Each structure stands twice: as C-alpha cells, then as structure tokens.
Amino acid sequence: MPRFLPEPAYRHGTPAGTAVVLVNLGTPEAPTAPALRAYLKEFLSDPRVVEIPKPIWWLILNGIILNLRPRKSAEKYASIWSQDGSPLKVHTEKQAKLLAGALGQRGHRVAVAYAMRYGRPAIAEVLDRLKAEGAGRILLVPMYPQYAASTTATALDKAGEWLARARNQPEVRAIRSFCDDEAYLAALEQTVRSHWQTHGLPGRSYRLLLSFHGLPRRSLDLGDPYHCECHKTGRLLAERLGLPADRFALCFQSRFGKAEWLQPYTAPTLRQWGREGVERVDVVCPGFVADCLETLEEIALEGKAEFLGAGGKEYHYIPALNEHPLWIDALAGLVERHLQGWPTRTAPPADQLAESARRAKELGARA
C-alpha cells in the first residue's frame, strides 16, 4: 500500500478554492441489526470513546456487546427513522445546504459539505472529494458546541490521519467549540421561548431540564473540559431565560456500563421530580444541534415515560436547533469569523454596499 494518497490532476494557474465541512457523530445506514453492528463496531472501537486497554475491550466488545446490543439498538433507531433516513443525517445535510446559502448571501464563495465521524459519508472520502474539486483551504466544523476528547478531538484525529497521507496538504483550520457563542445561545433561547408561547409560560410547579450527553466521570478527572463547558452553556442559557436556580437543572444522559459517569443523571432526576409532585417538565438538549437517537428516542420517548410514570403530569421535549433560522445565521457567523484571512469574498455583502452608497451620498451632499 502506498504511503501517500495519489494526487488529483492539477492544471497550473487554477486558483485554490475554500471549503467548509460540517462534521457530526454519525449514524447507521439502516435501522437493522447488521447495520447497527457495523456502526457500533466502528464507534466503540475508537480509543477516544472507550479508554479501556485494547485487549480487554476487544474481548468485551466482540464477545458480548456486538452480539447483544445491535438488535436492541436497531429497534430504537426504527422508532425514530424517517422516510428520508436517519434524522441526524437528514438534518445535517439540510444544515449544510442552508449554510451554503447563508454564506453566499454574505458574499462568500465556498463549498459546503458534511461528513460523519462514524459511518458515511466518512471524513476521508469527503476530504478526498473536496481536494479533487480544487479545495486548497478547508475549515472543519465539528458540530459539538461543547468540546470533548470523545467527540471533537476524535473527529479532528480522523482528519489528521487523512492529512498524514496527503502529499500536497491543503491549509486546514478547525473550530474547537462554541459553548458560549452569543448567537448560538440566542438561537437556543428562542427555541425555548417559542415553546413557552405555544405551551404556556412556566408556572410554580415547573422545571426546565438541560440534558447533555454523558461521559465517564474519569474523563473529568483526567482533564477533559466537557463538564465545565456544559455548565457554562447551561448557566448562560438560564440567565438569558431569567430562570431562578430552583426552576431548572443540568443533567447528563446516555450512561453506558457500570462505571460512574458525569452526574446528575437525567432519568433518575425525571423520576425524582415526578415523585416530588413537579407537574410540568420541558427538556432541551443544548449539546445536540441536530435531532438524533439520543434526543428523539431517549429524551422525547423514554424520558417522558420516566416522568409520567413517576407521577408527573405534563412533559415536553423541545426540538434541537436543526434548521432554525437563528441557528443557521449563528452557524454562518461562526464560520465567517474562522474564514477571516482566506480569499472567499465574491463581492461586498449587500449591507456593506448599502452603507457605501449612503456614505457616498453624504459626501456628495457636503460637496
């Protein structure tokens, strides 16, 4: 096997293009046990996801997990699968298209694509295609507001593997996280306020639950900033919503295995609130910018059953940002800031043209 990838044909004098790649976690190809087995094998074989000595984990993964979990996971995926496919893939594809349009309206000429860390389209195949199309500058955008080694870092690792095999490397940048980005927080705030307008403002017996994906507690002890960034997002969002401390809580979901994970856990908190007589709970998942299995099945369905089964009266899941206009605008602003210094402009944006015309008219009047 050659050490370096073959280079695409190149014509001298062709200007290098700029590309943006949205990178999300990934999804199986279908809601079936065989598809889930392939997906879970790739996902759970990542040493950043499972930090257990490889020989021990290989036996557990191949001897137990991949023989038991695919069928159960397939049933869960089937409950949220749409006619267009996996919700995560559908939303990410739409976000890429809308982002391309938003950047174009701002006067940028860039290609926008999306890739998945696990499954397809794989990061390497997307980077291969963009390079063949002439991209000499690539901005990677991991779609995780809060940085974690098991999400953002592993996506960048995969891009790094591709770079290590490229003879003629493009210029590459990456967005690390955006947990406190004002426009991202404004979009989250609006989704909650719009929900309140439809379902009523919070009453005395109300809780807003901010549920983030969980990680093993050991990750925090080893220096992963994810826990802190989740709490930063939660605090800033609660402040924007004007919620007192006794009306909201931040929890962590998707616990796996017997080891301690980041606490408090989402499901036990919902059961506790139901037993305590909390009448209404709304749940928002700020760490997911696109709806997926963890939001649509675990939170919207399982979470509802936990709360109502414990005595709660009313439960709502507030959808992820998905294609919300404020989120697409926030994403465009985030990308635009990280594109600074790269020649992407096709023409001045409309607002700049209008401002230039206004100033010219003022100067003409003074003359």
267 contacts 302 by C-beta, under 8 angstroms? yes
d(Cα 15, Cα 31) in Å, to the nearest integer? 43
Least confident of 244-258, 264-278, 287-301: 244-258
- Each residue's pLDDT tens digit, 101-126: 999 999 999 999 999 999 999 999 99
d(Cα 257, Cα 261) in Å, to the nearest integer? 9
Q: Which long-range contacts (CB under 8 A, 24 or more apart) does 6-13 make?
A: 7/167, 7/168, 8/131, 8/132
Mean pLDDT (whole number) for 306-327? 98
Per DSSP, 366 falls in state H
At 213, the pLDDT band (50, 70, 90 cuts) reads very high
pTM for the full predicted model: 0.90
At 367, the pLDDT band (50, 70, 90 cuts) reads very low
Contacts of 292 by beta carbon, 8 Å cutoff, 6+ apart = 25, 27, 86, 87, 88, 320
- Each residue's pLDDT tens digit, 67-89: 999 999 999 999 999 999 999 99
Residue 257 has pLDDT above 80, yes or no: no
At 350, the pLDDT band (50, 70, 90 cuts) reads low
pLDDT, position 217: 95
Tokens 């279908």 -> residue: 30
Q: All domains of the chain, ordered by start, with CATH?
A: 17-178+325-338 (3.40.50.1400), 182-317 (3.40.50.1400)
- Each residue's pLDDT tens digit, 35-54: 999 999 999 999 999 999 99
Residue 357 has pLDDT above 70, yes or no: no
pLDDT, position 354: 58
d(Cα 333, Cα 162) in Å, to the nearest integer? 27
185 contacts 326 by C-beta, under 8 angstroms? no
pLDDT, position 10: 75
- Each residue's pLDDT tens digit, 174-202: 999 999 999 999 999 999 999 999 999 99
